[in-house]
Amino acid sequence: MQGQALPGFRDSYPEELALRNYIFTTWRDVARRYGFQEYDGPPLEPLELYVEKSGEELVQQLYTFEDRGGRKVALRPEMTPTLARMVGARAQALKKPIRWFSIPQLFRYERQQRGRLKEHFQLNMDIIGEPGPAADAEVMAAALDTLRAFDLGPSDVRLRVSDRRIVAAHLAARYQVSGTELPGVLAGLDKWDRNPAETDAILRKVLGNDTRVGPILGFMSGLREQADALQRLPVAEPLNECCSRLEAMGLRQFVEVDFRIVRGLAYYTGVVFELFDAGNSLRAICGGGRYDDLLKEISGIDLPCVGFGMGDVVLGELLREHGKQPEAPTQLDAFLVAVGGEDVDPVLKLASQLRGGGLAVEYALRNQPIRKQLELAAARGAPRAVIIGPDERKAKVAIVRDLKTGRQRKVSLAKVRKGIFR
RNA sequence: GUGGCUGUAGCUCAAUCGGUUAGAGCGCCGGACUGUGGCUCCGGAGGUUGCGGGUUCGAUUCCCGUCAGCCACCCCA
């Protein structure tokens, strides 16, 4: 064993790369259908770009080092700061709302496990400059349509939506949770599903040993039942508008309002959502939301944003599980077979002509029995073999053999040269 | 970063209680098959049993360490 890729990094063999390319192609196609334009930035950024806004926790997971010029740099862990910088630099000139997408390779330094490597590709779609729920709905629709484009439906994937403003308003009105307490309480809510004991601990830390802890815990445990009541609050108007837009787009059956969705990132300010597989056995496929203050913090330009990220790792696992991998496309148009050594030059000539005409053509690189050459042709998935031997050359024809059916016929060389095989 | 489980050929797995030369199927290469693939038969390559140490006459097997993978936590790109 000559060693392997660094832990958490992938060698992509042709079969795996084909899946990734299929994912990328589909992503780009959906983005195009939604009128998004593609952008990109550097994979390596100054460390400060992330340290300033992200705080220590994310910094611990940054893939950082010092370059030869003594600069502290980081492999980008997310695209949003880069996006903010780019938009900020041209904010005056860009027509709003801005619809941009990107497929960056992102990095983190952290122990890998299933669905989470040190490196992945992530579709990012963002709408910048539009504060209303129409943009929220548009972005969610794009996320859902991406999964529909992979032939996944409401029984395969679910979109869970919440709005931090609703939860915050309720917590403030009912339990007098202040603005400074809110992030901590939301962090507690975020833990509720996985680790209620920790939720308790967090609440006690944020609120002190306060009489509100018990009632707030009760509120969290009953959130599902109270969803309807929360949606009737006036602050729920944007979320409701968002849902009705999704309904008008025919996507309502994917959507569940679930106020337990918080999202870990602190910068979300409104609607937040996550996309899960229906079996709930994988990590979130996609997560996003509204982050109206972030651009201002990074670039000084005050523009509201909403967007999501969708990684290729979990999505790839999901596609595998559902058998939605694309069949390997036939790459060759023809495999040329030279019967004897004297037939090699004519085969080379024909290969050159066909390739010149844009066709994909392969032939054996060694003189081999026809049997061997046909075996290779079949293994390559070629739809047909074109056989040239002394008899064929004399008659100015080639034998075109259909490798699926085994049927074959003689076709004039003049036609074959033009890529006509029948 | 913390804890638990697991590491035998490219893949899936065998190997008695610790026993002598670590096997099989698939895949790969070649042959039977000299102008026709898929089937069949035969042969071959491919292993420091993840790595290092310990116990033992003897370790794939037991112990320790380490690395890697998986799972959970942390965190959630």
Q: Which of residues 4-33 of A touch strand B (CB under 7 A)?
A: 7-8
Average pLDDT over residues A187-198: 78
Report domain extents, chain A: 14-321, 334-417
- Nearest nucleotide to the CA of A264, by C1', is B76
Specify the CATH architecture of the domain A14-321: 2-Layer Sandwich (3.30)
Mean pLDDT is lowest, of A4-8, A122-126, A250-254, for A4-8
ipTM of the complex: 0.84
Q: Which of residues 109-148 of A touch strand B (CB under 7 A)?
A: 110-120, 122
* Percent of chain A residues topping a pLDDT of 90: 59
Q: Which two tokens stand for residue A128?
A: 């910048």
Residue A131 CB partners (closer than 8 Å, separation 6+)? A292, A304
According to the per-residue pLDDT averaged within each range, which of A44-58, A259-273, A362-376 is highest? A362-376
Q: How, if at all, do strands A334-338 and A361-363 pair?
A: parallel
Q: How, if at all, do strands A271-277 and A157-163 pair?
A: antiparallel
- Nearest nucleotide to the CA of A343, by C1', is B35
- Output the pTM of the full model: 0.90
Per-residue flag: A394 CB under 7 A of strand B: no
Residue A1 has what pLDDT? Answer: 40
Provide the mean pLDDT of chain A. Answer: 89
Q: What class is the A334-417 domain? A: alpha beta
Say if residue A105's pLDDT is above 60: yes
Mean pLDDT is lowest, of A36-45, A91-100, A104-113, A369-378, for A104-113
- Nearest nucleotide to the CA of A391, by C1', is B35
Q: Which residue's CA shows the smallest distance to C1' of B68?
A: A7
Average pLDDT over residues A16-21: 88
CA/C1' separation A234–B66 (Å): 60
Mean pLDDT is lowest, of A60-69, A155-164, A246-255, A346-355, for A60-69
CB A306 within 8 Å of CB A271: yes
Max distance between CA atoms of chain A, in angstroms, equals 99
Average pLDDT over residues A163-190: 87
Per-residue flag: A78 CB under 7 A of strand B: yes
**A284-to-A157, A158, A238, A280, A310 alpha-carbon distances in Å:** 10, 10, 24, 8, 9
